[in-house]
Structure 1
Amino acid sequence: MARAGLTAERVTAAGAELADEVGLDRVTMSQVARRLGVKDASLYAHVRGLEDLRGRIALLAADEKTIRIAEATSGLAGKDALVAYANAWREYALTCPGRYTATQAPIRIDPELAAKAPGPRRAIELTYGMLRGYGLAEPDLTDAVRLLRSTFHGFVALEAAGGFAHERSPQRSWIRALDALHTLLEHWPPSREGDSA
């Protein structure tokens, strides 16, 4: 029988908090149970196991990150939207590292839960909408999305790991990287024959 007050949402939130503290790959069901003050077995009335919990954390994080990006970019276009989008992404990655990892890791997510989750769909809509402001259409939209994701993720992963040892501040490099991305998006190279595939 499920413990009163314990829900899948509470279990997921506890798992997400732990992921930020110790890293997503180090979260265990026992740790989550201890955090909630219950026995391990109580959790299984709400989540099917560690893989299911990680999938739920990924969906929670995708929703949180998307809300932050949507709020930051509301009413903006062009470079202003790009900078606000990127800054919201970076801030989430650095302040919620375990949750952020869940949004980037190859985690198996229950298809029923994924179908009901607004975060991933809204993230795609926001990203493509921002890039359409640069006049991009497919297949360039997909290529530009991959470029942005690679740049943002690569930068924050290196920053979080202490990979920028040079005396120049990461913040200054971040600003210049966004300047460069904006210039590239404004002058996106024309598609070549065969690029539609």
Structure 2
Amino acid sequence: MSIFSKLFRKPDVQTPLEAFVSTITPEQSQTTYRSVKDESLRLPAALSTWVLYLTHRFSSGLREMLASVDKKTPFAFDPIAFETAAFCHYWLMRDILNADDDQAEDEIYFECLKASASITSSLLASKTSFALPTELLMQRSMAYSHEEKCKAVRPEDKFAQFLISSFQSGSPATKAAVGISSSLPLQLSIASYIPIFESTQLAEFKTVARAMFLADQEGAL
């Protein structure tokens, strides 16, 4: 986009959700941890804050990529943000959900991750205009796990399906419609951006989240 175009184009109108998540920084996760009085909710709240930060990173990055090839299609920020948040939480739960054996430490960590997902779900519901059932975000995680374990469907492929379905409907889809008709630029943008997001953001998030949990358990966080 030229400098002239940037000067005279209309500014994008932010939704309440976008305005909220756009202010979150990586450092705010630590601030959240120290500000929560209930010790059992400190780490879940901190991880939720990080998820919301990553949600903005992905949604904004995808919008920029899509706009570079399709400037006419309005970007459905809120449904994309919901799907991204759900995928981020699944990424943290993935190993536990897909494991065959339960371990005591993993059970404690899983409860922490479920609490974090619940916090994120409540925050999203308070900032979006569409009805958002409180259990939908956790249902997404279970759906990813079921598809991966029972049908050998890559979670990245399922994520892409959910993104397209929700983008098209303007609100989080109850299920991903396989083969749904969508614009080629949208499909290509989503397919291109998911692996970038995974390699640059989610991999680090998963590692640091586990380290934060262990430090929290030891009282060293």
Q: How would you bin the TM-score normalised by the shorter chain?
A: 0.3 to 0.5
For the pair shown, the structure with the greater C-alpha radius of gyration is 1
TM-score by length of 2: 0.37
The two structures have a TM-score, normalised by structure 1, of 0.40
